[in-house]
């Protein structure tokens, strides 16, 4: 993967070659001139690729930053009840299923679902079962 600094170095080298061509084009014979032009073309193609890669990296980072900001914003709205975090309703009270404590400690938010075992809740991501303290809250009309 090419960095912006490498791309700038390639562009700088290409400009140096171009400058030397302009300064001494009379001293070159046709074969040397064509070889130098081919080198310049290759350097500029490498620079174009480098900047394209760098642009893609920046877009990916911007998307990740936006995603993290959104997740952080959502986490600020959660309500904690008996050690479990829930989404907050309009009145600020918890609604729905709790989020998995284990996955949340790793920075992920997965809602628990009802388990096949009575009074248990299961995380669809890590598969861990929870019993004590988990409740499904329904929004009151």
Is pLDDT of 34 > 80?
no
The verdict on 47 and 63 lying in the same domain is yes
Nearest Cα to Cα of residue 75 among 104, 101, 32, 42 = 104
Angstrom distance (rounded) from CA 89 to CA 132: 22
Q: How confident is the model at residue 64 (pLDDT cuts 50, 70, 90)?
A: very high
CA distance 67 to 80: 23
Q: Does residue 97 share a domain with residue 39?
A: no
Cα(130)–Cα(121) distance, integer angstroms: 5
The pLDDT tens digits for 66-107 are 988 888 888 888 998 888 899 888 888 898 889 998 898 888
Q: What is the pLDDT of residue 14?
A: 75
pLDDT of 2 reads: 59
Same domain for 55 and 84, yes or no, is: no
Q: Which residue segment(s) compose the domain that 115 sits in?
A: 79-130
Q: What is the pLDDT of residues 110-123, one digit of tens each?
A: 999 888 888 888 99
Q: Does residue 54 share a domain with residue 21?
A: yes
36 by Cβ neighbours in 10 Å (0-12 / 13-18 / 19+) ranks as middle
Establish if 86 belongs to a structural domain: yes
């Amino acid at each position: 993967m090419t960095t912006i600094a490498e791309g700038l170095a390639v562009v700088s080298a290409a400009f140096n070659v171009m400058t030397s061509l302009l300064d001494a084009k009379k001293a070159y014979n046709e074969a040397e001139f064509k070889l130098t032009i081919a080198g310049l073309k290759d350097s500029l193609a490498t620079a174009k690729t480098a900047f394209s890669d760098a642009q893609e990296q920046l877009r990916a980072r911007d998307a990740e930053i936006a995603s993290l900001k959104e997740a952080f914003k959502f986490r600020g709205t959660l309500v904690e009840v008996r050690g479990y975090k829930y989404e907050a309703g309009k009145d600020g009270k918890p609604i729905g299923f709790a989020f998995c404590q284990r996955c949340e400690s790793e920075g992920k938010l997965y809602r628990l679902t009802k388990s096949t075992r009575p009074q248990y809740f299961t995380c669809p991501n890590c598969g861990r079962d929870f019993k004590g303290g988990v409740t499904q809250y329904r929004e009151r009309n």
